[in-house]
A = this chain, B = another copy of it.
Amino acid sequence: MSRFAFYERIYRAFHDRPSLSKLLLVSTVSGGGIVAFSDTTPFRVAYADSAQGQCPKKKVVVLGTGWAATSFLKNLKNSSYEVEVVSPRNYFAFTPLLPSVTNGTVEARSIVEPIRNIVNKKGPHCEYREAECYKIDAEKKKIYCQTTQASNLGGKEEFAIDYDYLIIAVGARANTFNTPGVEENTHFLKEVEDAQKIRQTVIDCFERASLPSLSEEERKRILHFVVVGGGPTGVEFAAELHDFAIEDLAQLYPEVKNLVKITLLEAGDHILNMFDKRITAFAEQKFQREDINIKTGSMVVKVAEKEISTKERGTGHVVSIPYGMAVWSTGIGTRPFIMEFMKQIGQTNRRAIATDEWLRVDGCDTIYALGDCATINQRRVMEDIAAIFSKADKSGTGKLTIQDAKEVVADICERYPQVELYLKKKNMKNFVDLLKHSDSEMQTLKLDIELFKLALSEVDSQMKNLPATAQVAAQQGEYLADCFNRMDMCEKNPEGPLRFRASGRHRFHPFRYKHFGQFAPLGGEQTAAELPGDWVSIGRSTQWLWYSVYASKLVSWRTRVLVISDWGRRFIFGRDSSRI
């Protein structure tokens, strides 16, 4: 769409003279631009034609426009579905850059891409609705939505949408752990609007502290910024705020610059505890040098208008911390309508919707859930051990030869990823190593179920939940789109592992997450990164790696150019301190 717009603008700049525009058309052909130039209209006609005379299309309803949903949409190539996207947010936001938005290193608009740019490229069988789903009826295969636009356009409008497949990718909300006062007095950092509000409030704090009538103590309170949660988001925000304060605001508010204090509260022992210890140590030392106050073992029990109360783990005392602005970044919780839906399908007392390894909601054949609102409910090998054994035991003798075992081992490894992780951890080459027998014994060994159990008894210790990151969500979206693209084909020729508790094979390979590493920007042009293979990289060069990875991962050329030019603007002009 954006390329089209570009060509069209150039085209119009030729004053609509046909001779010149022909020339232009020819030149775009050579550049490969003709497809983009031909607009959506012929594209749509082509789609409509191909659908004529076929059976009615299956309707896929996608809830959400975040990482998982957008990645699904972008990768869905099969036009035999009718797709409807429902979300109150008509854009995709590149959330890893949200902390940069809070301080104006990057503009909010630079990290968003209108979802209609993506949807419209899919043709007329794909629609977007700016609305909020408030109820899912799994039995009637219906969702209920309400509008979210400003009220004077005609009040709340409600409507229902039928679906054949429902894809829930609505993300999560901030988790307050029901701590009193958090909703009212702290800022979250989940949405673009949150980041914009934080930016305004930071400026507000500096302006407020510069007023003539305040006491020194009150000034100090107002310029005390508290970040609750020592995860990557909280740490990055604290680092960005520190840079903003010393690089830009100290120049503009010289009279109060020495009163600024940033405190990071973490209930655990260390910040960034999901990272390698070297990164944690580096970050803690860097923050100490920069006077960013890290308080670990400190659990927030209440947030009042001007004070945060924490319970210290060592002493058990409750301490009161006066503050000006607090950012709450302690992990994710469940959205209310998802909680309602989970109750409906009998999944209570969980943080997120449980799915199988194919991202299908447990107990609902036609509903998929991915991203932060879902977790994959991995099956334990030990739960299925009897079924696995009897499947392997083709002859029905109750004993497996090594050959029998070897034949199912690939399927076991695919179906239960913990097996592979266990082998890797123990430096074993393959399943046979688990049997702890010498090679000569192997040839004649017959496994009974007890021996089989014993061999696999410890693999389940390697079961891991996936982190709630953009990387996981994006991979899940891509995986699911691939499944939908090849649904018919795989229905006929299943490619997945053996079904141990039923006959035949699974249609698809199960979802498998590939970890490409994780960044923790630490401010001052320094970044830490954990890369695959336990590599750790810290420093300025990693910051450049961060710049280039994020620039390449951005969702469109538009956002890429915008973010890079924002970085350039910041470098030249500094960050803007206007309260807008």
Q: Which residues of A contact B (CB under 8 A)?
A: 1-2, 4-6, 8-9, 40, 89-91, 107-109, 112-114, 116-117, 120, 128-131, 147, 149-150, 152-154, 157-159, 161, 185, 192-193, 196, 200-201, 203-205, 207-208, 210-214, 218, 222, 247-248, 251-254, 305-306, 324, 557-558, 561-562, 565, 569, 571-574, 576-580
Quick one: given A90-B203, A252-B116, A569-B561, are A157 and B577 in contact (CB under 8 Å)? no
Quick one: given A149-B208, A207-B149, A211-B131, are A89 and B579 in contact (CB under 8 Å)? yes
Q: How many angstroms between the C-alpha atoms of A280 and B35 in the bound complex?
A: 42
**A248 close to B5 (CB less than 8 A):** yes
**A251 close to B204 (CB less than 8 A):** no
- Chain B nearest CB from A163 CB (Å) reads 13
Q: How many angstroms between the C-alpha atoms of A305 and B150 in the bound complex?
A: 12
**A90 close to B207 (CB less than 8 A):** yes
Write out the residue numbers on chain B whose beta carbons fall within 8 Å of the beta carbon of A128. 210
- Chain B nearest CB from A526 CB (Å) reads 12
Out of B113, B157, B210, which one reaches A211, CB within 8 Å? B157
| Closest 9 pairs (CB-CB, A-B) | A91-B578, A130-B207, A159-B213, A5-B574, A149-B204, A116-B252, A558-B573, A114-B577, A112-B578
Among A91, A159, A201, A252, the one with the most B-chain Cβ atoms within 10 Å of its Cβ is A252
Besides the known contacts A112-B578, A153-B324, 12 further A-B residue pairs in the complex with CB atoms under 8 A apart: A40-B251, A90-B203, A90-B578, A113-B578, A114-B577, A129-B211, A130-B204, A157-B211, A157-B213, A157-B214, A159-B211, A558-B576
Among A158, A571, A578, the one with the most B-chain Cβ atoms within 10 Å of its Cβ is A578
Quick one: given A1-B252, A152-B185, A573-B6, are A578 and B212 in contact (CB under 8 Å)? no
Write out the residue numbers on chain B whose beta carbons fall within 8 Å of the beta carbon of A222. 153-154
Nearest to A115 among chain B residues (CB) is B578
**B251 close to A109 (CB less than 8 A):** no
Q: How many angstroms between the C-alpha atoms of A305 and B152 in the bound complex?
A: 6
**A580 close to B109 (CB less than 8 A):** yes
- Chain B nearest CB from A4 CB (Å) reads 7
**A5 close to B159 (CB less than 8 A):** no
Q: How many copies does the complex hold?
A: 2
Q: How many angstroms between the C-alpha atoms of A157 and B562 in the bound complex?
A: 39
Nearest to A104 among chain B residues (CB) is B109
Write out the residue numbers on chain B whose beta carbons fall within 8 Å of the beta carbon of A205. 149, 153
Nearest to A305 among chain B residues (CB) is B152
Nearest to A185 among chain B residues (CB) is B152
**B572 close to A112 (CB less than 8 A):** no
**A91 close to B580 (CB less than 8 A):** yes
**A580 close to B213 (CB less than 8 A):** no
Q: How many angstroms between the C-alpha atoms of A476 and B203 in the bound complex?
A: 30
- Chain B nearest CB from A206 CB (Å) reads 9
**A91 close to B153 (CB less than 8 A):** no
Write out the residue numbers on chain B whose beta carbons fall within 8 Å of the beta carbon of A207. 90, 130, 149
Nearest to A205 among chain B residues (CB) is B153
**B192 close to A574 (CB less than 8 A):** no
Write out the residue numbers on chain B whose beta carbons fall within 8 Å of the beta carbon of A91. 578-580
**A251 close to B578 (CB less than 8 A):** no
Q: How many angstroms between the C-alpha atoms of A149 and B131 in the bound complex?
A: 32
- Chain B nearest CB from A400 CB (Å) reads 57
Q: How many angstroms between the C-alpha atoms of A152 and B200 in the bound complex?
A: 13
Write out the residue numbers on chain B whose beta carbons fall within 8 Å of the beta carbon of A109. 107, 576, 578, 580
**A112 close to B580 (CB less than 8 A):** yes
Write out the residue numbers on chain B whose beta carbons fall within 8 Å of the beta carbon of A201. 150
Q: How many angstroms between the C-alpha atoms of A573 and B110 in the bound complex?
A: 12
Q: How many angstroms between the C-alpha atoms of A211 and B569 in the bound complex?
A: 39
Write out the residue numbers on chain B whose beta carbons fall within 8 Å of the beta carbon of A8. 247
- Chain B nearest CB from A495 CB (Å) reads 37
**A253 close to B152 (CB less than 8 A):** no
Quick one: given A120-B254, A129-B211, A222-B153, are A192 and B573 in contact (CB under 8 Å)? no
Q: How many angstroms between the C-alpha atoms of A89 and B34 in the bound complex?
A: 48
Write out the residue numbers on chain B whose beta carbons fall within 8 Å of the beta carbon of A557. 573
Write out the residue numbers on chain B whose beta carbons fall within 8 Å of the beta carbon of A130. 204, 207-208, 210-211, 579
Q: How many angstroms between the C-alpha atoms of A404 and B211 in the bound complex?
A: 58
- Chain B nearest CB from A255 CB (Å) reads 9
**B40 close to A254 (CB less than 8 A):** yes
**A251 close to B112 (CB less than 8 A):** no
Q: How many angstroms between the C-alpha atoms of A208 and B5 in the bound complex?
A: 24
Write out the residue numbers on chain B whose beta carbons fall within 8 Å of the beta carbon of A247. 5, 8-9
Quick one: given A109-B107, A152-B185, A159-B211, are A577 and B251 in contact (CB under 8 Å)? no
Write out the residue numbers on chain B whose beta carbons fall within 8 Å of the beta carbon of A157. 208, 211, 213-214
Write out the residue numbers on chain B whose beta carbons fall within 8 Å of the beta carbon of A149. 204-205, 207-208
Nearest to A326 among chain B residues (CB) is B152
Write out the residue numbers on chain B whose beta carbons fall within 8 Å of the beta carbon of A192. 580
Quick one: given A107-B107, A251-B1, are A9 and B571 in contact (CB under 8 Å)? yes
Out of B116, B193, B253, B573, which one reaches A580, CB within 8 Å? B193
Write out the residue numbers on chain B whose beta carbons fall within 8 Å of the beta carbon of A153. 204-205, 208, 222, 324
